[in-house]
Chain A
Amino acid sequence: MKKLFFLAAALILVQTVPVLADVPQQPKAPGVESKGYVWNEPAGEKAEILKLKGDAERGRIAYRVCQGCHKSDGAGLRDGTYPQLAGQHATVLIKQMADVRDGRRENPKMFPFAGKHIIDMQEIADVAVYLQNMKIPHDNGKGPGTSLARGKELYKSDCHDCHGENGEGNEKKFYPVLAGQHYKYMLRQIMNIRDGKRGNANLKMVKVVQNYSDADMEAVVDYMSRLSMPERSAVRK
């Protein structure tokens, strides 16, 4: 009887679910949850792309398929749905795109517009340079501003060494620029990193934030959302 019910339910599903275009699905690569995971292993497509010389003008054209979400100024959405990319280190952009392509960083929304089927390695190198050269916005999404003292304290003790005094990150070490990034985006990422949901997380960072309460995360991310970086040329090495 139960079986019959399932059969009927399945039939109804088959009849009502419309046929959809067959678009590529994001693959899955082992990440932080797997044994022997090494953060930022210099291998695979990422290593190949990093060897290529990007061209900002070609990048402007290739960026078209990105700007439907990340917008023409690279600023994404202030509500944090889509991150701010303008002025981000090219190395970071390349690593993140490669991780999404491999499936080490899960992102089914982005994959259709970032996979090998739509953008090639040279175009990724080009887009990365194009974005890196853009100005970081100052009107990014910010937090409520209620625990900034606590946020500053946490930032100075836990984040400062890698992400820098002004959130400038480190291009060579693949540490992202935080200045100008949207509060809600950073909050989502830091929580995902703590909770093991961001497959390409840095293990050092997982360790730093693993005992953070939600309140501490909100405080430190609020502080981060107010960081302001000097001219990009001053921090490029």
Chain B
Amino acid sequence: MKKMVILAVMVGLTATGAVAAPPKGDPAKGKLIASQVCLACHGIDGNGTEPTNPEFPKLAGKQPEYLLKQLKDYKSGKRKNEIMVAMVASLTPDDMANLALYFAGQKAKPGVVKNSALLAQGKKIYMDGNPEAGVPACAGCHEADASGYAFFPHLAGQHAEYTLLQLKRFNTGERDNDKGLAMQSVTIKMTEQEMKAVAEYLAGVPLK
């Protein structure tokens, strides 16, 4: 907890205006809500209760800024998802900040790679993109170790099924709450095979 506060202060100091300060709140209050509202799908530790269910992502260890933005976007309708829209209906802005801080502070468990044949291709796209097609490297925004930064989410160890579904939804514009349409612009140039490979690679990226 102390570590997280220090980290939050540090992030706040280095981000000079261009990035909003991380949310303030009480993760203990967040845990209480999580134990009533979120645990069935995301697990009380935020690692997801069904790794193969693409609708149950891992939340543990993601940036609080990112988690809060998603909750707000579900609430405002910017991010569409029937289950999540129902879940956030009763949450206040403070509840959402508390939840974001709580799940951000949980320890993510390593992901599971099911098809290691895809890893080399996935790593190549993640690190180098596809210059010919104009796909930028994912590492540019999400960091080489997939630890993310502020609104660019932490991706290491995420369930491959969830990552793949999001890439596909960005590709079709079904998910369109990405800043500056960046993810939609990236994924319209990706093939389904490339998306599968990147998703599989990310599941296997070790956690720090």
Footprint of B on A, CB under 8 Å?
18-24, 55, 57-58, 61-62, 64-69, 71-72, 77, 79, 81-82, 108-109, 112-113, 117-119, 123, 126
13 intermolecular pairs with C-beta atoms under 8 Å apart: A20-B188, A21-B171, A21-B184, A21-B185, A55-B16, A61-B16, A67-B141, A69-B131, A69-B136, A113-B182, A117-B180, A117-B181, A123-B18
Q: Which residues of A contact B185 (CB under 8 A)?
A: 21, 23, 112-113
With A21-B184, A68-B136, A117-B181 already in contact, 7 other A-B pairs whose C-beta atoms are closer than 8 Å: A19-B173, A20-B171, A21-B171, A55-B16, A64-B141, A65-B182, A71-B140
Task: Considering the complex, give the chain B residue whose CB is closest to the CB of A57.
Answer: B16
Which of A22, A55, A62, A69 contacts B137 (CB under 8 A)? A69
* Contact flags B77-90 to A (C-beta < 8 A → 1, else 0): 00000000000000
Task: Considering the complex, give the chain A residue whose CB is closest to the CB of B187.
Answer: A21
Indicate if the CB atoms of A20 and B173 lie closer than 8 Å: yes
Q: Which residues of A contact B140 (CB under 8 A)?
A: 64-69, 71-72
Task: Considering the complex, give the chain A residue whose CB is closest to the CB of B19.
Answer: A61
Q: Which residues of A contact B19 (CB under 8 A)?
A: 61
Which of B139, B181, B187 contacts A24 (CB under 8 A)? B181
Chain B: interface residue count, which band?
20 to 34
Q: Which residues of B contact A71 (CB under 8 A)?
A: 137, 140
Measured CB to CB, the closest approach of chain A to B139, in angstroms, equals 7
Q: Which residues of A contact B180 (CB under 8 A)?
A: 65, 113, 117-119
Measured CB to CB, the closest approach of chain B to A19, in angstroms, equals 5
Q: Which residues of A contact B187 (CB under 8 A)?
A: 21
Q: Which residues of B contact A77 (CB under 8 A)?
A: 131
* Contact flags B168-206 to A (C-beta < 8 A → 1, else 0): 001111001001111011111000000000000000000
CA distance A230 to B19 in the complex (A): 35
CA distance A22 to B179 in the complex (A): 14
Task: Considering the complex, give the chain B residue whose CB is closest to the CB of A82.
Answer: B131
CA distance A109 to B136 in the complex (A): 9
* B134 interfacial contact with A, CB 8 Å: yes
Q: Which residues of A contact B131 (CB under 8 A)?
A: 69, 77, 79, 81-82
Indicate if the CB atoms of A23 and B184 lie closer than 8 Å: yes
Q: Which residues of B contact A118 (CB under 8 A)?
A: 179-182
CA distance A119 to B138 in the complex (A): 18
Task: Considering the complex, give the chain A residue whose CB is closest to the CB of B138.
Answer: A68
Indicate if the CB atoms of A61 and B15 lie closer than 8 Å: yes
Task: Considering the complex, give the chain A residue whose CB is closest to the CB of B192.
Answer: A18
Measured CB to CB, the closest approach of chain A to B149, in angstroms, equals 7
Which 4 pairs, one residue from A and one from B, show the smallest C-beta to C-beta distance? Answer: A68-B136, A68-B140, A118-B180, A21-B173
Measured CB to CB, the closest approach of chain B to A91, in angstroms, equals 22
* B129 interfacial contact with A, CB 8 Å: yes
Q: Which residues of A contact B170 (CB under 8 A)?
A: 21
Q: Which residues of B contact A82 (CB under 8 A)?
A: 131
Task: Considering the complex, give the chain B residue whose CB is closest to the CB of A112.
Answer: B185
Measured CB to CB, the closest approach of chain A to B186, in angstroms, equals 8
Indicate if the CB atoms of B138 and A112 lie closer than 8 Å: no
Indicate if the CB atoms of B136 and A113 lie closer than 8 Å: yes
- Residue of B17, B141, B152, B180 with most chain A CB atoms under a 10 A cut-off: B180
CA distance A18 to B168 in the complex (A): 11
CA distance A212 to B51 in the complex (A): 61
CA distance A23 to B181 in the complex (A): 7
B residues 24-43 in Cβ contact with A at 8 Å: none
Indicate if the CB atoms of B139 and A68 lie closer than 8 Å: yes
Task: Considering the complex, give the chain B residue whose CB is closest to the CB of A58.
Answer: B18
CA distance A119 to B179 in the complex (A): 10
Q: Which residues of A contact B179 (CB under 8 A)?
A: 118
Task: Considering the complex, give the chain A residue whose CB is closest to the CB of B14.
Answer: A57
Task: Considering the complex, give the chain A residue whose CB is closest to the CB of B184.
Answer: A21
CA distance A18 to B15 in the complex (A): 40
CA distance A22 to B176 in the complex (A): 9
Measured CB to CB, the closest approach of chain A to B180, in angstroms, equals 3
Indicate if the CB atoms of A109 and B173 lie closer than 8 Å: no
CA distance A18 to B192 in the complex (A): 11
